[in-house]
Amino acid sequence: MTNNHITTHVLVLGGGPGGYPAAFKAADLGLEVTLVDLEKNPGGVCLYRGCIPSKALLHAAKVLNEAREAAELGIHFGAPTIDLDQLRGFKDRVVGQLTGGVGMLSRQRKVRFIQGRGQFVDSHTLAVTHADGSTSQVQFEYAIVATGSRPALIPAFDIGSERIMDSTAALGLPEIPETLLVVGGGYIGLELGSVYAALGSQVTVVEMLPRILANGDEDLVKVLAKQLAERFAQIMVSTAVLSMAEVEGGIQVQFRGADGEPFEQTFSRVLISVGRKPNSAGLGLETIGVAVDVKGFIPVDAQRRTNVAHIFAIGDVAGEPMLAHKATREGHVAAEAIAGHPTAYDPMAIPAVVFTDPEVAWTGLTEMEAQAQKRPVQVTRFPWGASGRATTIGRSDGLTKLIIDSVNERVLGVGIVGTNAGELISEGVLAIEMGATAGDLELTIHPHPTLSETVMESAEAVSGQSTHVYKRK
């Protein structure tokens, strides 16, 4: 492909959950589209090394946990044996099937796909370097930057040891370590920690802040924390990691605890999970005058347009929240804007889901945010101990809560912790987007017995008349 010169109407740089939906939407709108990505098929980090492989492994973890918990029902299994090669094979087949499917959809839409690394050389030209060292150039009228993000690194912990992993390395399942330290109590660390704990590792989580999942409401996180305390060896909050050093058989880690006193422990492996950083460097953005903020994000307007009118940015590289579904919506908006359609990215609610067991999900205004903003709200909670469906599946530890405007009773926020919370939260997203009131949810007949009834009964609680929760008058 050396010295190839390609012209296109729309260039999309990055084939992740923002990039390929943007390319597909633009093609569906009749535009000529070229998609550039490093992998042989679109999919990005989410499909190759993030959302999808982690959920495949979390499914395996759930199966293991349910098998162990079946004894409470009088069903007894022998001790499981884990074939790591077969488990890796399952994960890789899932990834291969989905990325291959996206590749087929790209061809069906006649999106030109180029595998390689792209860099802007001027405001209408992208240079692409291919794996064999050859280069090509793509001339475009419009460009959408969708280059995503990468795991954040802490230079002090980069000691050149294979025993220290980021999330990408951890998803490779190099082994089942006897002991594993997870640095960071966010969703990525807790999800991967849950996988390794189910596989047999003694998992310790360390978090600098006073609690895990610090951006989630405390009443929801408390339910998850109780379960994780039973499955993990330790959860250390208000604790800082001072240093790491490789020693025989592991990594020696020095901590400073909540009391200010230092202490040390040794672990077989360490997983660093302290957030992600946008991939905006090395793209030639400075060459074409695209602004980048101090954190590396590309500022955009409501149509996802940068300060350079024909250049757009979407997904992780365009700012928080760094979520695949947010990127997808942004990609659609950018494509519609390029096609000349009246459009804007203006969601009322973006759901967040932590795929642990139990799952934690929330959308819209959280109780913490309402308190910080001094919003007049009513908060209702429905404990899953009063849910027939939750009780029949042995998962009565959950909770569903609503954040309701005290003036007009509109639904402002929804939070759920419990099995399948990630599936249930969509009703909350729709309620907020449609401007629904608590009365609308209360009058919507939900099937029985289901977990979705907990949303209805939370709404009933606004009037103090929840069927399965008695409120003393």
Q: Which residues are catalytic?
A: 448
Instruction: Give start and end residues of each alpha helix (H) in 311-452.
Output: 324-338, 367-373, 388-392, 421-433, 438-443
Nearest to 177 by CA among 200, 205, 206, 159: 200
For the record, the structure tokens of 258 come out as: 């909540």
**What dihedral angle (degrees, nearest 10) is formed by the CA atoms of 453, 471, 436, 315?**
-70
For the record, the structure tokens of 164 come out as: 């220290």
Cα distance from N-terminal residue to C-terminal residue, the chain: 77
| Residue with tokens 């977990």, as numbered in its chain | 451
Instruction: Give start and end residues of each alpha helix (H) in 70-186.
Output: 84-108, 167-171
Strand 179-183 vs strand 269-272: parallel, antiparallel, or unpaired? parallel
Euclidean distance between CA atoms 420 and 450, whole angstroms = 11
| Residue 230: exposure state from Cβ atoms within 10 A (0-12, 13-18, ≥19) | exposed
Instruction: Tell me the CA distances in angstroms from 177 to 90, 160, 185, 251, one per residue in order.
Output: 20, 18, 19, 12
Instruction: Give start and end residues of each alpha helix (H) in 153-289.
Output: 167-171, 187-199, 218-231, 285-288
Euclidean distance between CA atoms 137 and 395, whole angstroms = 56
Q: State whether the Cα torsion 456-458-462-464 is positive or negative.
A: positive
Instruction: Tell me the CA distances in angstroms from 36 to 79, 101, 138, 235, one per residue in order.
Output: 47, 17, 10, 42
Residue 374 near residue 390 (C-beta atoms within 8 A): no
Instruction: Give start and end residues of each alpha helix (H) in 126-176.
Output: 167-171
Nearest to 456 by CA among 357, 393, 368, 389: 389
Strand 399-405 vs strand 411-418: parallel, antiparallel, or unpaired? antiparallel
Euclidean distance between CA atoms 69 and 67, whole angstroms = 6
Beta partners for residue 35, in sequence order? 12, 113
